[in-house]
């Protein structure tokens, strides 16, 4: 009994130390990369994306070294890097906001306006063709999503959206917002659903990260032409929630 308690304390100490090292690694490198991205406005988007990709790869490596946390991907064959799509993913933690930049082809991400208030880190998001929305103004947010999202899709750039709108606890169930499906239907591009269980290892709003293997499932393409946004959204939501059940 004493040995088990000691082991539990040791694990907590190790997790805390590893999480602290990862925290330092993320924020120290983010400042440097942010400056590179801002200066990179003088170059091409492709070059800036490589900078962002490299940083996410570094963070993935640090996460493995310090926290013993890795990931595995299923269904990557469903993604064609040469075809623009709307990715719809569940949102459990901060992990996927970094990891999906490394896993998926170049894409635009929808973020809340408040992130731009962060010096350097927030400003650098604008260099990566980010879609910025004001969540307090739902009508304006939807308009920005449809206008900017359609523009990027027509340029050949995919768009990543978290239809839950915010990070959701592992056991919570939140109805998906229809904005991503509306964008796909309006612009005439397919949807690809993504499910992951990152919240079990990198919980939302938690400093501590836990060792393990995060599972990511990328679903088959969902056609949108001639369909109602609500039906598209429902199909993606059902697939994602079913995939999550299979992971747990």
The pLDDT value given to residue 178 = 96
Complete DSSP assignment for 197-217: -GGGTS-TT-S----EEEEEE
pLDDT of residue 217: 98
Give 10-residue mean pLDDT values along the chain (248 residues): 38 89 95 96 96 97 97 97 97 96 96 88 93 90 95 97 92 91 98 97 94 97 96 97 91
Options 3.40.50.1980, 3.40.1130.10, 3.30.530.20, 3.40.50.2020; CATH for 70-247 is 3.40.1130.10
Q: How far apart are CA 179 and CA 143, in angstroms?
A: 9
Q: Look at residue 125 in the predicted model and tell me its pLDDT.
A: 92
Query: Residue 172: its pLDDT value, please?
Result: 86
Q: Quote the pLDDT of residue 4.
A: 36
- If we measure between CA atoms, which residue out of 162, 192, 167, 174 comes closest to residue 241? 174
């Amino acid at each position: 009994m004493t040995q088990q308690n000691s082991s539990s304390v040791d694990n907590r100490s190790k997790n805390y130390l590893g999480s602290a090292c990862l925290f330092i690694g993320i924020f120290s490198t983010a400042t440097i990369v942010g400056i590179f991205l801002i200066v990179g406005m003088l170059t091409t988007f492709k070059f800036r994306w490589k900078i962002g990709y490299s940083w996410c790869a570094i963070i993935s490596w640090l996460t493995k070294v310090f926290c013993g946390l890795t990931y595995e991907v299923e269904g990557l064959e469903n993604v064609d890097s040469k075809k623009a799509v709307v990715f719809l993913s569940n949102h459990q933690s901060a992990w996927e906001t970094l990891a999906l930049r490394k896993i998926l082809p170049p894409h635009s991400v929808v973020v809340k306006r408040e992130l731009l208030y962060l010096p350097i880190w927030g400003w650098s998001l604008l260099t990566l063709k980010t879609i910025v929305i004001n969540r307090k103004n739902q009508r304006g947010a939807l308009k920005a999503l449809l206008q900017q999202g359609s523009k990027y899709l027509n340029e050949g750039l995919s768009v990543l959206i978290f239809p839950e709108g915010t990070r959701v606890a592992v056991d919570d169930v939140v109805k998906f917002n229809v904005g991503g499906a509306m964008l796909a239907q309006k612009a005439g591009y397919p949807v690809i659903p993504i499910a992951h269980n990152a919240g079990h290892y990198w919980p939302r709003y938690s400093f501590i990260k836990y060792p393990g293997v995060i599972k990511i499932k990328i679903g088959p393409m969902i056609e949108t032409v001639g369909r109602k946004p609500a039906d598209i959204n429902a199909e993606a939501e059902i697939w994602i929630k079913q995939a999550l059940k299979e992971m747990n």
